[in-house]
Structure 1
């Protein structure tokens, strides 16, 4: 039986403080994430943004251990998924969009081992052209120009039952940390420029699918939806997570549980932005803010990924 290569695709992150600036350059050079002037100016402006933001970003990464754990966690997810899948039918690889190991590196390693059939699984549960679309576009470029092979794509999975079950378990664990108090729940998703949605991007619709699938288990709890991690001079989806925290503080709310709804792995947005910045932001307003643990290698989440692959084959 021919081995199928499973490609786990994610954003990636700097693996050292020295890598922060080139990582930011790669990120902002992608015109699918944010358009920086006319096309010919994208890379020069990206270089300027990377240079001006690098010091502040390095400070953030220094506070979470000096690097992003995203690539390491994705490799751990790949190992766990490999153990869950039948062997030797599958070989699992990781490909990052903006830092090592790059998507092209993953494809080359698989191709050199004889693999000619792939399943691309985006680790973004909710499709957006800026995330899954960009990763799939890069993968298609690599396959069409250098490594001809068949590839099937798992585009999104916002209401996969096992994904919802794993999230429900972690949310309940987070609620239990409040010792019987009644926290308001904020579903905080990564922000996206508003023009993506007006042009038909399904990102918000798919996030709502996940939240709707979680509602029965939340048993009427007070929930809010917000967006974090804005960057760049465009109009972003609203409300921001900061504004939502401010609103709840004004209403006299004392306990908040944040669910990083569009993320499956720990990285700068969970470990710094929520755990440090938003926690301190809330504390100054008299609020105790806690975060639901990331899925990472949660066994039920790994089983969710396995079912997605099996569904493609069926």
Structure 2
């Protein structure tokens, strides 16, 4: 116990000063209004009955247990330096919270809102929407990562006429509001026979994401020393082999970063898919969610929150998988 108390004391007074504590406190307070609605959504999806109405009393009981547990979790992360003790305390918080929720509202928990998952023949089908969302987000991610990596490398390593103007153009393109282009893009897709197709939307969203991704990748390549690449080519490697085996691993975090950002952008896309896709068989998850929200019979909040939970899962899994790479990102350079 003395060792644990010492680890807590050292964690508080050796790592953080008053200014840092103030910053952490403000971040925690500002984060709560963003985090709490997600958990509210999750709890509603499991406590709504057949009517889809919100069980206010059950939610109040759950939030009364959850909010103190969330605050305790934040304090544990900030105060306890020992990893072993921190894990033990966090596990205890989770166990106590789950036990408290089950004890208070266990008999009110229901999976009725998730019955739509068994309706595979429904029109529109959530499985078709999930498939289309993965096609849109995955296709955009693949194109953005491939093109931005090659373009960023070329801008970083080669000097050519108009290079400075091209770099300025990337910044300007990224600064323009994309919504102002809906009508011109609509006409282009119509004339190209790509209207009402996922491929057309993928091309549009990829083009809009590329300026920032290219600019970001150039910064990563600027951080890779030219001497490393030159040594590989001196040893007999071709330019392509040196790029793949030597340079590309050095910018892995950058590729993962633009990949995550591109996937999330494609996964949450709503404006362009709504403007350019009409057939329900081509709907993505954002359109599927809006379809149920605009039900003429009235909104089924249990169903809406259940669909939203399913919609959220891929983004959450992606973030958990890639967070260690995103936290190691360092962008910059000394070259113009």
TM-score, normalised by the number of residues in structure 2:
0.27
Higher-Rg structure is 2
TM-score, normalised by the number of residues in structure 1:
0.28
**Larger fraction in helix:** 2
Q: Larger relative contact order (C-alpha < 8 A, sep ≥ 6)?
A: 2
